Structure formats: structure tokens, C-alpha cells
Copies of this chain bind each other. A is one copy, B any other.
Amino acid sequence: MALRYALLAALHERPATGYDLNQRFGRRQGFVWNASHQQIYRELGRLHDEGLLSMEAEPQAERPDRKRYTITPAGEVALREWLATPQPRPATRDPLLVKFFAGDLVEDRVLFDELVSLRHAWEERLAAYREIEATWFSEPETLSRHYRLQYLALRRGISAGQAWLGWLDEAETLLRTP
């Protein structure tokens, strides 16, 4: 039941289409919430049915209509209520750590390959996050409360990335030590 609130939160920022939201919730971009386009379109439909979103279709030649969703007052109320209630922490489920745990059945090659690709992935993401940081949040103390909070969400992504890179160093070093 949390995807819907992630969508409402995004649409509270500004109205958007399913396509737009799909970009922002993709595996690369989304450091807050990941979702596939199927999930997003389905949930937008439900939210619209329930009156939490209003929709305006912009007809396009040779393409499906672009549907722009806007949060309704009822949607904002629902979002507010959810935001005010404590949410449980997400579960941890990491296949990479499973591999480390059963490491005696895995060749070094496999582990190193995973570490290398993970490093690449995080370096790329971190670079993207840092660009956002430099462009929009260069002086955090001068920001309004609203943007400070968004900055902190971004900082969490950066902090997570740095922790992964630090651990990767440690892992590669220890695996190479005879």
C-alpha cells in the first residue's frame, strides 16, 4: 500500500503522466522508490477511480493519449494521513549477500565480477546524485524547509552509495589478501 503514496507524493510536487513517473521511479533514477511501468499505470488507474487523482488526456497523433494526472484535495488528505502514521522499515533482501554467505560454493571469479559491476553501478549513480546536488542544492542552509528535506533524501542516496563503495574496497582487499 505504499507505492500509491510514493505516487501521490510525486504528483503533489507537480502533475505528471505515467510515462514521466516511470522515468522517475526507474531502477536508475529512483533512490526513493522503484516501480515498473505496469505497476505505475495500474496504480494510477486505481487512484483515479478512487478520486485521489484527476486526469486530463492530451490527444496525440499516432500515439496513445498522454494522460496527465493531478492530485485532488482527497488525494492530499489521504497522503497527509499516511505521512503522519509511522511506517515500518523495509525488509532487507540482498542476493549478493546470500552469495557471500554460501561463498564456499562460489568461485572467486564470480564474486569479483559481481563486485566490479556493483562498483560501476554505484559510481554511475553517485555521479548522477552529485550532479543533482551541485546543481540544485549547493547551499543547503539557504534552502526552504521543503527543499532541505528533499536534499536530505538525496543525501541519503549519496550516503548509501559511499557506504557501498567503502565496503567494496574492503571486500576486494580482503579477498586479495592471501
Contact = CB atoms under 8 A, between A and B. Distances in A.
Interface of A: 2-3, 5-6, 8-10, 12-13, 27, 30-35, 76, 79-80, 83-84, 86-107, 110-111, 113-114, 117-118, 121, 140-141, 145-146, 148-153, 155-156, 159-160, 162-164, 166-167, 170-171, 174-175, 177
Contact of A32 (B33, B97, B162, B170): B97
Nearest to A178: B141
B100 A152 contact: yes
Dominant secondary structure at the A interface: helix
Contacts of A35: 91
Closest 4 CB pairs of A and B: A103-B149, A163-B163, A9-B102, A34-B91
A93 B167 contact: no
A89 B95 CA distance: 7
18 contacts: A2-B95, A6-B98, A9-B98, A13-B101, A27-B91, A30-B92, A87-B95, A87-B114, A88-B95, A97-B153, A103-B145, A104-B145, A140-B174, A141-B174, A152-B170, A152-B175, A155-B170, A156-B167
Contacts of A106: 83-84
Nearest to A76: B105
B170 A92 contact: no
A34 B98 CA distance: 11
A10 to B, nearest CB: 8
Contacts of A145: 103-104
Contacts of A92: 30-34
